[in-house]
Amino acid sequence: GVDYLVKFEARTIDSYQRLMDKWLISEAGIERYFTYIVTKTVKRQSIAIDSDLCSPL
């Protein structure tokens, strides 16, 4: 299972790795971590919602 989820941005992969190395040797209790790197910005355009769909039933 997952105990915590942390999301942050790092300027470089190297700075991210140095931070993770420090956390692993600290007394924070981190045993392992998983990394997901976003390589591009994903934008989704919103769509117009018909006002009739928003009225109470």
Query: Is 18 within a domain?
Result: yes
From CA 22, how far away is CA 38, in angstroms rounded?
22
| pLDDT tens profile 10-47 | 889 899 899 889 988 998 888 888 888 878 877 777 76
Query: Is 53 within a domain?
Result: no
From CA 57, how far away is CA 55, in angstroms rounded?
6
From CA 57, how far away is CA 46, in angstroms rounded?
24
Q: What is the pLDDT of residue 17?
A: 92
Query: Is 25 within a domain?
Result: yes
CB 10, CB 16: distance < 8 Å: yes
From CA 52, how far away is CA 31, in angstroms rounded?
51
If you compute the radius of gyration of the chain from its CA atoms, what whole number of angstroms results? 20
Instruction: Specify the number of domains making up the chain.
Output: 1
